[in-house]
Each structure stands twice: as structure tokens, then as C-alpha cells.
Structure 1
Amino acid sequence: MGIERSLADRKGKSFCELPKETTNSNGRSRKNRRRQRKMLPVQMLFETCKEVFASAGTGIIPPPQHIEKLRSVLDAIRPEDVGLKPEMPYFRTSAAQRIPKITYMHIYECKKFSMGIFCLPPSGVIPLHNHPGMTVFSKLLFGTMHIKSYDWAADLVPHSPTNLKPSQIQSPEVRLAKIKVDADFSAPCTPSILYPADGGNMHCFTAVTACAVLDVLGPPYSDPDGRHCTYYLNHPFSKFSDDGTSIPEEERKGYEWLQEREKLENIEVKGALYGGPKFVES
């Protein structure tokens, strides 16, 4: 999931604007329009995902008009549209909990896309991870969250070696990445989009307050298809020498080294059933 800096102040056309009816029956036309207007937001999201990700595959990015359509649908979704309230127990921690527990509500998944909600209590952390070959849409439903995201620097710094094995690290490799975002975001935020190689494909999340994020992934994670979630440790640029870099001294704070990690610590994620409005899998 990625979060952009801009706020949701776009107006544009409503995502639920209806096409012109071609039927000759005025009664039937009005009935169809009423049915479409009454479609639940979660049903609209499901139907739009089916359309947007109809040709989904590793590294395949939906066309711009489909991207904008799904972004508009997400932009209109509110916490109550998916059955969430800030006072729910998912967003609280007890004194006995050493590590804030994160809850993931699974809504839907198929080979083309997945939908789900991350519920984070204050100080909850989703560690730095990636979304290989995937296009990810995210909507911060409520709360404030700190986002730090990166893109690989290979294309940005073509004359700089981007894979090193410094003497301080035996394995695995570290790789140079450019910091894309490092800031707090508060709802309402414009739904964000990250792409396979742009937009902050590697990112971590820290809940400043209790918050919830609706995620749509197309296609979803799949080990057999090479879409495995990898977690990383981040190191400051100054930690390792890179004598061949072409990055000016004054810009080096905008880059860090990312190192793959095998074991996750200080994180607890619990699955939960989606309890919001139901939708029909047509």
C-alpha cells in the first residue's frame, strides 16, 4: 500500500455518474438508474476491481482511465461503508500488551485482486515491506499514520552501483533506495497508488493515532507466481561507503540502504472476519 501527500480536494465527475440509457422504456430506465444509485459502496468497489483488474498479472499496470475510476470509488468510501468505528476493540491496546496488535480484515481475494483492511491501534507498526509486480491502491479511512516509503534507485542513479556487500555485512546484500515519502498523513487523504517500480513500492507504516487503511492489491501476493512479500531493514546512506556514487553530497540524506530480513520481531498481526456490509460476487 502507498500513501500520497495530497489531500482529497478534487471534485471532478462523480464515480457513480451513470451512462445514458438506451432502452425505449422510460419506466425500465428509471428503475435501472435507481438500482445503480442504491448500490452499496463495497459492492461498487468489488465491481470496479473486477473491471480494473480483468487483465491483472505480474507487472501489468491497469490503463490510466481504470486507475482513475478505482481511485474515485475508493475516495468516496467512509469507515461506516465497511462497518468500522474508531471505538472498536481493534483500535485499542491494553497495559498487558507489550506489542500493539494489528488486525487484518480479509474482504475478498481471487487470482486477479484482493481487498482488505488493516486496523492499527496507536503505535502499531507494519514493518518495511514490498509489493513486487503489483499495483496497490490504499485509502486511509480514519486516523493519523506515519508513512515512510522508498523506490529502488537503480533507474534514478544509473552510474551508481546499487548492490553492495559491505564488509560490515556478510549476507544478504544491501541495495540503494531513494526515500519517496517520510511524513504523517491524516484522513481524509486522497487514495494513493503505488506501481511495480514507482510510487513507494517499499514502505512501512506507524500509527500515530488509531487508524484504518483499506487496501486493494492487483494482483495479490502469490509465492508460486513470484510475488513474495519481502521485509527489509533500512540503514542510513552514510553507514556504507559507495565511492562510485554520482549522488551529490547535499542529496545523500534522501537515500538509504535496504537490507532483506528473514525474521520479523516486535509485530503481531491477527486475522479477523470482515463484518461490514455484504456484497454479491457476481
Structure 2
Amino acid sequence: MTIEAMVEQRRESVAQVHRVGYANRAMIRKKRCKRTKKCASTVPMALQDLFVSCRQIFKGPDTVPLPEDIKRLCNILDNMKPEDVGLSSELQFFKTKAAVKGTPRVTYTTIYQCNDFSMCIFFLPANAVIPLHNHPGMTVFSKLLLGKMHIKAYDWVDPPRADGPDTPIQLRLAKLEADSVLTAPCNTSVLYPTTGGNIHQFTAITPCAVLDVLGPPYSKEGDRDCSYYKDFPYTGFSNGEMELKKEEGSCYAWLEETEVPENSKMDGIEYLGPQVDESRC
């Protein structure tokens, strides 16, 4: 078997693990529904609370949730467990210690999406990367449900341009907002349209599951399409407007927008975990 065939086989097996895991839980849900008068009672309260709160809080493009609403969503997400979305650490995907050969492929599934917000889960095998990318005009909540991952995040420096005489115009100066390792269970990370690390990258140290709430969601037809970046050390280029000491320079970097990276491609699978009840709002 060729290396390419082995990699493709592994990708399919990862997707199949999620399908089987969700399918088993969907079957259990159906059996429970037959024994109860109201199928809605099988929806985990945390997931339903998250859905209802998102409907009340997100008001569409060009709006940012109020501080009290940010706190409300964080409180819900901080207390959410893998079981609330039909996951378990006992699934083979999360018990696999060996890294996937070749380029590990990220898988995602959408719990719910509308024009104002989306709720989705990303599955990252060990060593998988979601490359450095932005969230234009969006507020994003990320909750690591399972696993251990490294996160790096930047915000543009104000003014967001870097066109000094010795600096290539395609490079823009950004400030490092996060460069740390998260291990589940942990608190929710929040980024805003211009602050909080709007441009970020995930690297899985172990197999991971990340629950993301995006408000509003990406829109390729509008002005919220995703852009990707490559970062360079601050000391690699000079800047006519801003000179930093060596120790300060480590907190900054130059970002260059790039073409869509090969490792940004993801496999979408059907969500078969607990369903939100749209009638209970």
C-alpha cells in the first residue's frame, strides 16, 4: 500500500470513528424517546441553554455581545462536558496516542447554524493544525472539550499597517496575545472583532475536540470570509514608525496574508449528537 493510500485510509477511519460514536448515541436517544412522551427531554440542559442564549444574544453582523452576555455564554460553556454533545473520552479517536502519518486532517461537524451564529465542533488528531487565520467582524467562543492543544493568537497593532521604508508593504505588525497550552477541562477562550486574539492558530498535542460558537458565522458571499497568515519574528524586519527593545520585540510579529494552506482543508461529517430543540426558546 502506498503512503498516500495509507494516509487516505487513516482519514476515513477518523471520520468513521466520529460517525460511529454519534450514531451509537443517536440510537440510544431514539430508544429513550420511545419510552418518554417528550423527546425534547433528552436534550442536555447545557446544550439547550447554550442554544437559547445564543439566539437571544447574537444580533447579526456589526454587533458585539454586551459584557454581561459574554459572561453568560462563558458560564454555560465553562460547565459543558463532552457528553453534552454526544462525545466521550472512551471513543477510540481520543484514546489513540500515536500521531497520524502524513498531514493529519481536521474534521468538523455543525450542531446548528443560522445567519446570526453557528455552533460547531472541530476534531483534531494529534499534531493536526488549524493554521493561523482570522475572524473578520466576529466574536468567537472556543471551549476545549477533550485533549491538549497549543494556541497562538495575535491582534493587529493600531494603526494596522506596516509600510515603513524598509518593510515590505504586504507585512502587517501584530501583537502576540496568546502563546500557551490548554488542557481540558479548561475555561472558555473568547476573541472579538479587533481584540482578544482575533487571528489564531490551533495545534493539537493530543487528539482534541473543540466546541466553537461564532457570531456571526463565516460568510463567503459577504465580507466575513476567512484569511490565512504566516508570521515572522519582529526582529526580521525594521519599522520606521515603531522601534522596540529586543525583549519587547518578542511580543510582536509581522504577519503576511497567504494563499489557503494545504493543511487548512477539513472533512465535514454529519452531527448525530443531541439535537437542540428550536421550539423551546
Q: What TM-score do you get using the length of structure 2 for normalisation? A: 0.78
Tell me which residue corresponds to 1:82.
Answer: 85
Tell me which residue corresponds to 2:184.
Answer: 187
Is contact 1:74–1:191 with CA below 8 Å preserved after alignment?
yes
Q: Please say if 1:108 is aligned against 2:112.
A: yes
How far, CA to CA, are the matches of 2:261 and 2:275 in structure 1? 34
User: What letter matches 1:131 in structure 2?
Assistant: H
Tell me which residue corresponds to 1:148.
Answer: 152
How far, CA to CA, are the matches of 1:44 and 1:106 in structure 2? 17
Structure 1 residue aligned with 2:76, among 73, 85, 101? 73
User: What letter matches 2:78 in structure 1?
Assistant: D
Tell me which residue corresponds to 1:175.
Answer: 172
SS state at 1:163 partner? coil
Greater percentage in helix: 2
Deviation at 1:204, TM superposition (A): 0.3
User: What letter matches 1:205 in structure 2?
Assistant: F
User: What letter matches 2:262 in structure 1?
Assistant: E
Q: Please say if 1:164 is aligned against 2:167.
A: no
Alpha carbons of structure 1 residues 87 and 267: separation in structure 2 relative to 1, 3 Å? farther
Tell me which residue corresponds to 2:32.
Answer: none
SS state at 1:273 partner? coil
Tell me which residue corresponds to 2:47.
Answer: 42
User: What letter matches 2:129 in structure 1?
Assistant: V
Where does structure 1 differ by over 3 angstroms across 4 or more consecutive aligned residues?
86-97, 165-169
Deviation at 1:264, TM superposition (A): 0.8
Structure 2 portions without partners, runs of 5+: 1-39
User: What letter matches 1:113 in structure 2?
Assistant: F
How far, CA to CA, are the matches of 1:130 and 1:230 in structure 2? 6
Tell me which residue corresponds to 2:13.
Answer: none
User: What letter matches 2:161 in structure 1?
Assistant: T
User: What letter matches 2:163 in structure 1?
Assistant: L
Written as runs of structure 1 = structure 2, the 5 A alignment for 1:240-251 is: 240-251=237-248
Figure out how many residues of one structure are paired with residues of the other and give that number.
Answer: 239
Structure 1 portions without partners, runs of 5+: 1-34, 156-160
RMSD: 2.5
Aligned-residue sequence identity (percent) comes to: 48
Q: Please say if 1:120 is aligned against 2:124.
A: yes
Greater Cα offset, 91-100 or 261-270: 91-100
How far, CA to CA, are the matches of 1:39 and 1:213 in structure 2? 18
